[in-house]
Each structure stands twice: as C-alpha cells, then as structure tokens.
Amino acid sequence: MNRAAAVTVNAALAALAAVTLFPLLWMLSVSLMPANAALHLPPPLLPERLTLEHYRTLFAQLDLARYLANSSLLAIAVTALSLVFNTLAGYAFAKLRFAGRDRLFRLLLAAMAIPGQVAMLPLFLLLKQLGLINGYGGVIVPGMAGIFGIFLVRQYALSIPDSLLEAARIDGAGELRIFLSLALPLLSPILVTLAIFTFLGAWNDFMWPLIVLADSERHTLPVALANLMGEHALDTELMMAGAVLTLLPVLALFLALQRYYVEGLVLGSVKE
C-alpha cells in the first residue's frame, strides 16, 4: 500500500518536473542545431550535429555583448542603490521610533496593491522633464526604492532584540553607528535575499525598459531579444541561442543562491 503510494507520488512529480524542464532543455537543444534544422517533422529533440554558429552570429553581428553589458549595468546599479535605501527604511520601520511610523507603514503595505502600470505615463513625462528618458537613469532612478524591499527588510529586522540596540545606546553610540556596526551584520542574510530578488526583477523587467530606452544601443537583453523576434522571426535556432544567453545569468544566480531566495519568499509571504 505504502509502496504503491510512494511510486504514484514520485512518478507524478517526475512527470511534472519533465513538463517543467522540457521547454528550457529544448531551447538549449535547438540553439545548438544548424540553421533550419528545427523546422522539420517530426520536430527533432536533439541536434544531429552540434554547432555554435548562432552564438557566434549573436556576438559578431548582432551586438549581443553590448546588450549583455547594458542589462548587467542596469541590474547591478538598481540592486546596489535600492539595497541601500530599502535597508535604511526597513530597519527604521522595525526598530526606530518616530511619530506616525506604524500608520505610514500600513499605508505602504496598502500601496503594494497599486499596479505599477498606473504610474507609468506620468512617470515617463516626469523623467522626460528631468532629461532621463532614453538613458540608463530612466531605468535606474525609479528603481532606487521599492515597497516590497522595505517590507522584507522590516520583517527580518523585527527579530533583532531591542536589548542589544539599547545596550549600544547606553554606551553612547549614535543611531547610524548602531545601524552600520550592529544591525547591518545581523541583517546580512535578508540583504542577500533582497539583492537576488532585485537583480532578477531588474534583469527580467521588460515593459519599462521597452518604454524608456528608445536607442537600440541602450537596449537591455530582453528588449533586444524581443526586437530579434520581430526581425529574425524565421531564424528559430538563432533566437533560441539568444534566449539561452538571456536566461543563463539569472539561472546561474538562482541555482547558486536559491536557498536565500526561497527563504526570503517564505518570509515575505508569512503574515505578520
């Protein structure tokens, strides 16, 4: 009885895992096929002959290195800057007293339900006034603070014992010093989590970079890949290679640091 159940459960999971991984593995396989090899019946699973020609074309003719650099630059800048501002705010909402703190925090929580799309048109006009449209700043500046980041840091910071901070205050340390030398080391696990969240979000973001970055030399990988889909719609294998290169950095990051990512997700979802 138990044996039969174990086989059923594990088989169901294996089937679901196969369905989950198939599109990604097939993407990799097609990207290594010679041009037009994928468009055959029955659809080929594995390349008859391995080739890296599409990856070469992407770098040599389609300027992929530039998009890779753009995406990296934007994702790293957004991650680094937002980490600073969100951590300061999240820590204060958990551990420092000031008038209106809890009301302000509830307001932020409620605002999480506001879809980002609502702000986009006026934000575009504002950034245009500031001369940030069509530059990296147009993506970086609005990404420098985020409600979710503040929330995540606050939830984690609540676990820092007040007595620890009190002791430092009695010793005459200033709040900034306490934050830097005492709180920050304690917060480091959640900062890793938040950094991964932010980096993945910035790397994968599509709509806003599509709107803000008009010049093709500033395009991010996803935006460039979407253009490629329009211009090279028939070069299946080439597009698959572009897709593989877009996914590789985020998948590597996730697999390396998934423990932090999943823990943060759970923390962010647990009700207060």
Partner 1 sequence: MRLGSPGVWFVAPALSLLTVFFFAPVGAALLLSFTDFDIYALGDLSSLRWIGLGNYQQLSSSLQFWMALRNTGYFVVVGGPLSVAVSLAAALLVNHRLVRWPSVFRSVFFVPVVTTLVAVAVVWRYLYHPRYGFLNHALAVVGIAPVDWLGDPRWAMPSIILMAVWKNFGFNMIVFVAGLQSIPRRLYEAAAIDGAGAFRQFLHVTLPALAPTFLFVTIITMIGHFQLFAEPYLMTQGGPADSTLSLGLLMFREGFRWWNVGYASSIAFVLFALIACATWLQLRLRKP
Query: DSSP characters for 84-96?
Result: HHHHHHHHHHHH-
Shortest CB 143 distance to partner 1, Å: 9
Task: Give the C-alpha separation, 181 to 265, whole Å.
Answer: 26
Enter the tokens of residue 213. Answer: 């970055």
Least Å distance between CB 152 and partner 1?
13
Of residues 174-193, those binding partner 1 (CB under 8 A): 174-176, 179
At residue 208, φ and ψ (nearest 5 deg) are -70, -50
Give the chain's radius of gyration (CA, Å).
23
Query: Where in 203-262 is the site for partner 1 (CB under 8 A)?
Result: 203-204, 206-207, 211, 221-223, 225-226, 229, 236, 239-240, 242-244, 246-247, 250-251, 253-255, 258, 261-262
Near partner 1 in 8-67, by CB under 8 A: 9-10, 12-13, 16-17, 19-21, 23-24, 26-27, 30, 38-43
- What residues between 57 and 116 interact with partner 1 by CB under 8 A? 85-86, 88-89, 91-93, 96-101, 104, 108, 111, 113-116
Asked if 117 touches partner 1 (CB under 8 A), the answer is: yes
- Residues in binding contact with partner 1, number by CB under 8 A: 97
User: Which C-beta is closer to partner 1: that of 77 or that of 92?
Assistant: 92
State the nearest-atom distance from the C-beta of 69 to partner 1, in Å.
16
Structure tokens, 222: 């996803």
Q: What's 20's DSSP letter?
A: H
Q: Is 232 helix (H, G, I), strand (E, B) or coil?
A: coil
Q: Cα separation of 248 and 238, whole Å? A: 16
Q: Report residue 121 as tokens.
A: 């048109």
Identify whether the C-beta of residue 93 lies closer than 8 Å to the C-beta of residue 150.
Answer: yes
Question: What character string, x for contact with partner 1 (CB under 8 A) and - otherwise, covers 131-170?
Answer: ----------xx-xxxx--x--------------------
